[in-house]
A and B are shown apart, each in its own frame.
Chain A
Amino acid sequence: MTPELPSGLDLTLDQLDRDGALREAAARLPRTRFLAAAAGAAAAFGVLASPARAAVSRGDVAILNYALSLEYLQAAFYTETERVGAITGKAARATRVVGAVERAHVDAFRKLLGVQAVKQPSFDFRGTTEDQLAFLKTAVAFEDLAVAAYKGQAHLIEADAVLAAAVAIHSVEARHAAWMRHLFGIRPAAQAFDEAKPKAEILKTVRSTRFVAARTRTKGGGAPRFTG
């Protein structure tokens, strides 16, 4: 049932400015809602921040970084979509609301992981943030993927506080998946049981989108071959 991820157009976009994105979201969302989302995420992990952080095992850190990577992807996708401004109607509202929530998830995981947090990669969404149909299709795929990903990790998490946070986010991703499916016009709950997917399969799917852009690198100090 999960639609295939579109391969899309070739379009390179600037790396996201997360702080700017947050300010923008704050300006557009009802203030109470935004603050609630932000505070809520902070509070979730505030529970963990001081006493429990030391207790988070290496395995849990890996799981949290995996979750953070997926949240980076989602947050960047919705933030860029909102910025481009090509999506209209109910989907535009969903973009704002879901985007703010994904950014709150990113912030929460980063806060929890501290210096152990993986860095945000560059993304190239290949035109999917500029077209209503491609956007919805991609959003459905991402949300369904996130649900399967969290589900695949829940039983592997060691610390109860980390588990509590993960399950509280897992069901929100499922709500997003249903919401995007409804907007896309497909059944929000396709079957009685949602299957988990292992990390390797999720990462393979993410790689297949080519949304995670290779980092631009400058190597060596030699003179350029072509100077115009």
Chain B
Amino acid sequence: MRNLSLRVLDDAAAAGAVRAEPSLTRSRLLQHAFVGGGAVVAGGVLLGGLPALAPAARSKEQDVRILNLVLLLEELKAAFYAAAEAGGALRGELAEFARIVGEHERAHVAYLRKALGDQAEAKPSFDFGNTTGDRDRFAATAAMLEDTAVAGYNGQAANLTKPVLKAAATIVSVEARHAAWIRDMVGQPAAPDATDKPATDRQVQQAIARTGFVTR
């Protein structure tokens, strides 16, 4: 089943398409990245993902696996915003967005690392290509990453033990706020659907792999 947030990822292929095709125009780029925002939403797709959430038995071991997955997402985003800030190509509200959201992602990384203790996986290396050096590529990539994080956290809700779910819930809505913020800033639907579709762990891993950002 094709899930909308992954369709966004496919089309943006953030790194791939964006990097390989430097002539991609602003409107095309945004069109690609935000294809999920409009009429493509079909009734069946909207909540099609929900039944897939049938959880494996909750356990501490499973919590660790899931927290390491979302840690990777948070590391990726923290590094992305840090690279964008360091690159200095952003101005105005986009620069503010990168700075504020970067702070949040670093706080999430620290929180998850603390929770995982010595079970936290090592931070990988990243290469964001030219996606942080240009406002349109930055915005499209940021929106894709934030939407993926929302789908990733939502997809794991039923798999987490209750105390960890409680903690994760304080993070996922902040990711959703980031997603809406960047989308509204570039004139895309901030909240295109009545519900946010979840992504499975495998879908999240595939989405991350597809960006080509993790070089390890």
Contacts and interface: CB of A to CB of B under 8 A. Distances in A.
Interface of A: 30, 32-33, 35-41, 43-44, 47, 94, 97-98, 100-101, 104-105, 108, 147, 151, 154-155, 160-161, 163-165, 167-179, 181-183, 187-189, 191-196
Nearest to A163: B158
Interface residues of B, dominant DSSP: helix
B157 A154 contact: yes
A25 B76 CA distance: 40
A189 B178 contact: yes
Given A165-B195, A172-B193, A35 B43 contact: yes
Interface residues of B, number: 54
Given A154-B166, A192-B104, A167 B174 contact: no
A178 B184 contact: yes
Contacts of B158: 160, 163-164
A178 B51 contact: no
Given A40-B195, A188-B177, A189-B174, A168 B47 contact: yes
B95 interface: no
Contacts, number: 189
A105 to B, nearest CB: 7
B176 A172 contact: yes
A44 B195 contact: yes
Contacts of B85: none
B42 interface: yes
Interface string B78-95: 000000000000000000
B191 A98 contact: yes
A174 B190 contact: no
B44 interface: yes
A44 B189 CA distance: 21
B47 A40 contact: yes
A47 to B, nearest CB: 5
A160 B196 contact: no
A182 B190 contact: yes
Contacts of B194: 36-37, 40-41, 44, 100-101, 104-105, 108, 169, 172
A188 B104 CA distance: 12
Contacts of A164: 50, 53, 157-158, 198
A155 B174 contact: no
B37 to A, nearest CB: 10
Given A36-B42, A172-B195, A155 B180 contact: no
Contacts of A104: 194
A192 B107 contact: yes
24 contacts: A40-B47, A43-B44, A43-B47, A44-B47, A44-B50, A44-B195, A98-B191, A101-B191, A154-B157, A164-B53, A164-B198, A167-B157, A168-B154, A172-B196, A174-B180, A175-B176, A175-B196, A178-B178, A179-B184, A182-B181, A192-B104, A193-B174, A194-B170, A196-B169
B41 A154 contact: no
Given A39-B43, A43-B44, A171-B150, A188 B196 contact: no
Contact of B177 (A98, A100, A168, A177): A177
A100 B179 CA distance: 20
B48 A43 contact: yes
